[in-house]
């Protein structure tokens, strides 16, 4: 939603109790609230931030402008979970309240060090002429969730980047702390800088160099770079804005992509033998995916189910955006898989064989098998007039197509109303998670993923098996 700067950058303390209550009341009117996903209490949610393991629990923050469905003065909102499925907000927030983050506590990451959680993030600062000074700054959160900011800027804007320099990800490799930061060159191409913590002091960073990951630089900016290790292999997740479509076929305004690499040479610095660039997600919206290696080694990721610069049907209710399920990465036969963590099955409260259903609560999981050599079709969020979200699985020619053109309230139609990907032409499975206005589809247990919003009209909650031989199970989900 377009709102004037004066509103979007108004100090938090200037919003009265009455104004906050009116916004909350409007949010409550939405028919599209999700149940087992994270969405903002009010306002706009975008990137997942600070995903980490701290004090025996998983910590996950999200970017939020709490006063409406627009990108304004951002803060981080803290949530916690023991099982990576049930998250609750703790009330802790990283606020834009110092001269180093005066125009937003932008995205970043976190790492537990000596009993405290170190938050490494971008302070968005603008001067009177609205010229931006992107600062990489830090804070410490203690076990009572009290946040104390570091006094000094940790990384200043280097001379070879523009004002687009943000989203530090801290990680440990060979017992050494490193950070990568998304950047734009003066020639307007996107790249990634690598830093190293001197003596492993995370308040003292030294530049190692520009990370060679086999990128062509056709993108004008790289947002939210993340390096995680899957079976010892470095996997780079990143958001290359403006990427040339000759390099990668994508339809969303900006893609979220990955490369699987062989080794990490910290000296050059270089990700050795990177794969070609791939779409991380084939759905209508998944962006700013953040990952980290948990203490047990698992590479866990979570995505923003939303995109920059898009208006959503929930905007009229003063909120926008949600986070995806937490997904675990694995590599099988050289391919990257992403699948919800095992504990997701704890949401299953009842099950029955998959068959047509005139109505549901739109809160369920389907586990489906599509037989080989045929074209199958499923209609979700269906009504009796033939409307719905159409999933076509063509196991003869090896294609999956998701068609949103007749599914609920239409938006972002300029970017197309279908999404598709190739699969092996053979029997195929899908696990489909529906949560009122979210659908997450995992083909072949995460070999390909489609993450999307759908905003059904009243009565659009049926399931129809409209073509092909489809068998499976319908699970009702309860948080
Ligand atoms: C990505 C992003 C980040 C930035 C944050 C601001 O969606 O633009 O690059 O830090 O959002 O909210």
Catalytic residue, chosen from 14, 47, 160, 175, is: 47
* Residue-wise pLDDT tens digits, 347-379: 999 999 999 999 999 999 999 999 999 999 999
Of all atoms in ligand 1, which is nearest to the CA of residue 308? 7
The Cβ of residue 144 has, within 10 Å, a number of other Cβ atoms equal to 8
Q: Are 366 and 356 in contact (CB under 8 A)?
A: no
* Residue-wise pLDDT tens digits, 161-175: 999 999 999 999 999
Q: What is the mean pLDDT of residues 87-99?
A: 98
Quick one: pLDDT at residue 1?
Answer: 84
Alpha-carbon distance of 190 to 224, in angstroms, equals: 12
Average pLDDT in the chain: 98
Q: Which DSSP category does 457 fall into?
A: P
- Joined together, the tokens standing for residue 241 give 């804005």
Residue nearest (by alpha carbon) to ligand 1 atom 12: 106
pLDDT bin (cut points 50, 70, 90) of residue 469 is: confident
Write down the residue that tokens 């589809």 correspond to: 441
* Residue-wise pLDDT tens digits, 35-86: 999 999 999 999 999 999 999 999 999 999 999 999 999 999 999 999 999 9
Quick one: pLDDT at residue 368?
Answer: 98
Q: What percent of the chain shows pLDDT beyond 70?
A: 100
Taking the centre of ligand 1 as the mean of its atom positions, its distance from the CA of residue 4, in whole angstroms, is 19
Residue 185 burial by Cβ neighbours in a 10 Å radius (0-12, 13-18, 19+)? middle
- Joined together, the tokens standing for residue 20 give 């906050």
Quick one: pLDDT at residue 129?
Answer: 97
Q: Is the pLDDT of residue 344 over 90?
A: yes
- Site to probe by mutation for ligand 1, drawn from 65, 219, 223, 321 as the one with most ligand atoms within 8 Å of Cβ, is 223
Quick one: pLDDT at residue 257?
Answer: 98
Active site residue 47: yes
- Site to probe by mutation for ligand 1, drawn from 108, 109, 167, 307 as the one with most ligand atoms within 8 Å of Cβ, is 167
* Residue-wise pLDDT tens digits, 219-273: 999 999 999 999 999 999 999 999 999 999 999 999 999 999 999 999 999 999 9
Ligand 1 site: residues with CB under 6 angstroms? 46-47, 63, 74, 106-107, 122, 166-167, 223-224, 288, 308
* Residue-wise pLDDT tens digits, 268-326: 999 999 999 999 999 999 999 999 999 999 999 999 999 999 999 999 999 999 999 99
- Site to probe by mutation for ligand 1, drawn from 40, 106, 238 as the one with most ligand atoms within 8 Å of Cβ, is 106
Strands 335-340 and 348-353 turn out to be unpaired
How many Å is the maximal CA-CA distance in the chain?
66
Alpha-carbon distance of 256 to 279, in angstroms, equals: 6
Q: Are 311 and 319 in contact (CB under 8 A)?
A: no
* Residue-wise pLDDT tens digits, 398-440: 999 999 999 999 999 999 999 999 999 999 999 999 999 999 9
Q: Is the pLDDT of residue 449 over 90?
A: yes
203: Cα separation from own chain's centroid: 27
* Residue-wise pLDDT tens digits, 3-29: 999 999 999 999 999 999 999 999 999
Alpha-carbon distance of 92 to 95, in angstroms, equals: 9
86: Cα separation from own chain's centroid: 17
Taking the centre of ligand 1 as the mean of its atom positions, its distance from the CA of residue 38, in whole angstroms, is 18
Taking the centre of ligand 1 as the mean of its atom positions, its distance from the CA of residue 138, in whole angstroms, is 17
Taking the centre of ligand 1 as the mean of its atom positions, its distance from the CA of residue 226, in whole angstroms, is 13
* Residue-wise pLDDT tens digits, 100-139: 999 999 999 999 999 999 999 999 999 999 999 999 999 9
Taking the centre of ligand 1 as the mean of its atom positions, its distance from the CA of residue 167, in whole angstroms, is 7
In the chain, DSSP finds a helix count (H) and a strand count (E) of: 2, 35
Of all atoms in ligand 1, which is nearest to the CA of residue 287? 7
Residue nearest (by alpha carbon) to ligand 1 atom 8: 223
Q: Are 458 and 31 in contact (CB under 8 A)?
A: yes
* Residue-wise pLDDT tens digits, 176-205: 999 999 999 999 999 999 999 999 999 999
């Amino acid at each position: 939603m377009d709102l004037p700067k004066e509103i979007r950058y108004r100090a938090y303390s200037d919003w009265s109790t009455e104004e906050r209550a009116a916004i909350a009341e409007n949010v409550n009117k939405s028919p599209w609230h999700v149940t087992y996903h994270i969405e903002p209490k009010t306002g706009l949610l975008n990137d997942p931030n600070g995903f980490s393991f701290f004090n025996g629990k998983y910590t996950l923050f999200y970017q939020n402008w709490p006063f409406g469905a627009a990108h304004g003065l951002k803060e981080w909102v803290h949530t916690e979970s023991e099982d990576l499925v049930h998250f609750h907000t703790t009330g802790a927030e990283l606020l834009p309240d110092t001269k180093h983050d005066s125009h937003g506590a932008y995205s970043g990451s976190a790492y537990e060090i000596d009993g405290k959680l170190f938050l490494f993030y971008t302070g968005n600062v603008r001067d009177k002429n609205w010229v931006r000074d992107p600062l990489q700054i830090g804070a410490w959160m203690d076990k009572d969730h009290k946040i104390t900011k570091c006094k000094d800027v940790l990384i200043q804007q280097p001379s070879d980047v523009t004002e687009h320099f943000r989203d530090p990800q801290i990680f440990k490799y060979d017992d050494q702390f490193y950070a990568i930061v998304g950047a734009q060159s003066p020639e307007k191409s996107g790249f990634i800088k690598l830093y190293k913590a001197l003596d492993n002091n995370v308040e003292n960073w030294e530049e190692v160099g520009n990370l060679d990951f086999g990128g062509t630089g056709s993108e004008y900016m790289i947002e939210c770079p993340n390096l995680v290790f899957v079976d010892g292999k470095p996997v780079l997740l990143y958001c290359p804005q403006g990427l040339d479509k000759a390099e990668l076929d994508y339809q969303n305004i900006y893609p979220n992509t990955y490369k699987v690499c062989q080794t990490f040479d910290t000296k050059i610095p270089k990700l050795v033998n990177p794969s070609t660039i791939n779409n991380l997600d084939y759905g209508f919206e998944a962006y700013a995916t953040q990952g980290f290696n948990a203490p047990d080694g698992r590479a866990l990721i979570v995505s923003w189910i939303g995109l920059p610069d898009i208006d959503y049907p929930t905007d009229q209710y003063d909120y926008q955006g949600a986070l995806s399920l937490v997904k675990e990465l694995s590599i099988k036969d050289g391919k990257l898989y992403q699948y919800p963590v095992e504990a997701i099955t704890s949401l299953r409260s009842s099950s029955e064989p998959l068959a047509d259903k005139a109505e549901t609560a739109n809160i369920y999981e389907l586990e489906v098998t599509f037989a080989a050599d045929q074209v199958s079709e499923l209609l979700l969020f269906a009504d009796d007039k033939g409307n719905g979200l159409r999933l076509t699985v063509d196991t003869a020619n090896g294609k999956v197509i998701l068609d949103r053109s007749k599914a609920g309230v239409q938006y972002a139609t300029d970017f197309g109303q279908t999404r598709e990907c190739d699969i092996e032409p053979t029997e195929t499975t899908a696990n489909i998670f529906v949560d009122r206005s979210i659908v997450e589809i995992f083909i072949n247990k995460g070999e390909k993923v489609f993450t999307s919003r759908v905003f059904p009209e009243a009565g659009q909650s049926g399931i129809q098996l409209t073509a092909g031989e489809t068998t499976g199970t319908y699970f009702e989900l309860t948080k």
